[in-house]
Structure 1
Amino acid sequence: MRTSPNRLVAVIFGAVYLVVGLVGFAVTGGVSFLATNGGMLLGIFMVNPLHNVAHLLIGAALVIAGFVSTRAAKTTNTVIGAAYLLLGIAGFFLVGTAANILALNTFDQFLHLASAILLLAFGLGVERSGSRLAMQ
């Protein structure tokens, strides 16, 4: 794992998203599962229980992929990065509507877009291991 940037990024991002998902439950007590307005994580990110579950699932997928193989990490980084890119863009249109079942706010959108850019950059980038390209 030390030689693969994708595996390292997957494990680090996954661990962060697992922690965020768990900590999110501390601020969503009394918030409906699909509430369009949730609790405030770190005072700026709005979350509801569904949003927390999504963070836990995404974090678990990234950590598992990071420990499985470089190919799994690249694929997972790319897929989750693409999903975050779509969510980051669509989220701007969902804020303030009944369709905002993840209780997204503007700060969430920018964080999702930043995650998307980093995950896609690594997932779509070339792996290097020593002097040869590694795709395993």
Structure 2
Amino acid sequence: MAESVRARLQPTQVLAGLVGLAFLALGVIGFVHTGFNDFAGQGHTMLWGVFAINPLHNVIHLLFGFVGLLMALTSATSRLFGWVVFAGYGALLVWGLMLVGLTSTNPVSELGNPLNLNVADNWLHLGIALLGLVIAIVPLRRKVIETEPEPVQVAPMQEPVTDPVPAQQPQTVAATDETVARQEEPKPRGLHRLSRLRSKGTTAH
């Protein structure tokens, strides 16, 4: 039986693709609100009145969106994308927590706040980091193996083979014919008389 494996999308690929599309949409919507001026500034309008963004923040979203769509092509790269999202947005979460003063020290205070992060962004980044972890560890779906019946090959009909009948050779009756010829051969008259005289003489004695 021939077997064929039917390719199916894995859950990690579906999640990676959806997250990639969400990042792209978020980046485009962000540029609609901020435009391209004051690229790393903090004076832009809030997205949906909650999230602080700027053009540099939007570029980060677009970058993750393109990478997510490309890496969703295979299950292995989708898992890798999940780990990248988990590590990247985990780092942004820690940075945002230091910026809002939830940590006693801020070792990167000299960098300022180029992504214009706020408390709402930190909560969003926490959720995105956990989603990346889910993409990285979601179980794989089993592959479906389909069996295809092999075509039945019918042997061609063979005509019965008959042995040729040997030709009967005519029996030679040369010896018999010769014997009959000798028996039928007439004897000379003189020999008949001589044989009669001999037979009479033998009788007289």
Asked whether the two chains share a fold, i.e. TM above 0.5, the reply is yes
Give the superposition deviation at 1:95.
Answer: 4.1
Q: Residue 51 of structure 2 corresponds to which residue in structure 1?
A: 45
Counterpart CA distance in 1 for 2:31 and 2:46 is 10
Q: How does 1:104-115 map to 2 (within 5 A)?
A: 104-115=117-128
**Number of aligned residue pairs:** 131
* SS of residue paired to 1:42: coil
Structure 1 residues 109 and 119: alpha-carbon distance in aligned structure 2, compared to 1, 3 A threshold: same
Give the superposition deviation at 1:29.
Answer: 3.2
Q: Structure 1-normalised TM-score?
A: 0.85
Larger CA deviation: 111-120 vs 27-36: 27-36
Percent sequence identity is 35
Q: Which runs of 5+ in 1 are unaligned?
A: 132-136
Q: Which of 57, 60, 68 pairs up with 1:62?
A: 68
Q: Which runs of 5+ in 2 are unaligned?
A: 1-6, 102-108, 145-205
Counterpart CA distance in 2 for 1:103 and 1:55 is 13
Match status 1:120 vs 2:133: yes
Any conservation in 1 of the 2:10–2:75 contact (CA below 8 Å)?
yes
* SS of residue paired to 2:112: coil
Q: CA RMSD in A?
A: 2.3
More helix by share: 1
Structure 1 residues 52 and 30: alpha-carbon distance in aligned structure 2, compared to 1, 3 A threshold: closer
Counterpart CA distance in 2 for 1:61 and 1:30 is 22
Larger Rg: 2
| One-letter amino acid of the structure 1 residue matched with residue 11 of structure 2 | P
